[in-house]
Amino acid sequence: MRLLETNAGSKMVQGKDLLFYSVCIENEHPDIFREFSEVRTPLWACLELEHINMLVYKIACMLRLDEPPRSISILTVDGSPHCIQLHYAVEEAKKISGSDIEVRHFVLSKGEVEEVSSQTVKKSRYLGKLSLD
């Protein structure tokens, strides 16, 4: 299901573990998609089609529910200038809503999934603070 077309108060969202993922992963890496969506409600987004502000608002609304999601995992393609915004959107929505929800960030690179910390996502927004070795 498309994240932006899902009701923030849906029974599929409230109290559930959610997976926000890049839409291309479902077709390009079906085994990885199945593994990640097995125990989570999968909701896709594509930042080539959608503006980050729309996603931030939708996710913040989900986090402000009387029964918010239990957790959010994000799975995107590593290195995509569009996909990285999904990670930013969740972190920004968490900040705006004041939520302490568990968020896990995953990127798919060369067929392998790697988990990255919320701190790494935050640092990647501030290029001036990154040092190049």
Q: What is the pLDDT of residues 43-54, one digit of tens each?
A: 999 999 999 999
The model's confidence at residue 127, banded by pLDDT at 50, 70 and 90, is confident
Domains in the chain with CATH codes? 3-123 (3.40.50)
Higher model confidence: residue 130 or residue 64? 64
For 54-95, write each residue's pLDDT tens digit.
999 999 999 999 999 999 999 999 999 999 999 999 999 999
For the record, the structure tokens of 101 come out as 């929800």
For the record, the structure tokens of 120 come out as 């790494």
* pTM for the model: 0.95
- Do 53 and 109 contact (CB within 8 A), yes or no? no
- Do 40 and 73 contact (CB within 8 A), yes or no? yes
Rounded Cα gap, residues 107 and 13, in angstroms = 22
Which residues is 74 bridged to in the sheet?
A: 20, 105
- Do 47 and 86 contact (CB within 8 A), yes or no? yes
Residue holding tokens 């705006």? 96
Residue holding tokens 């899902």? 6
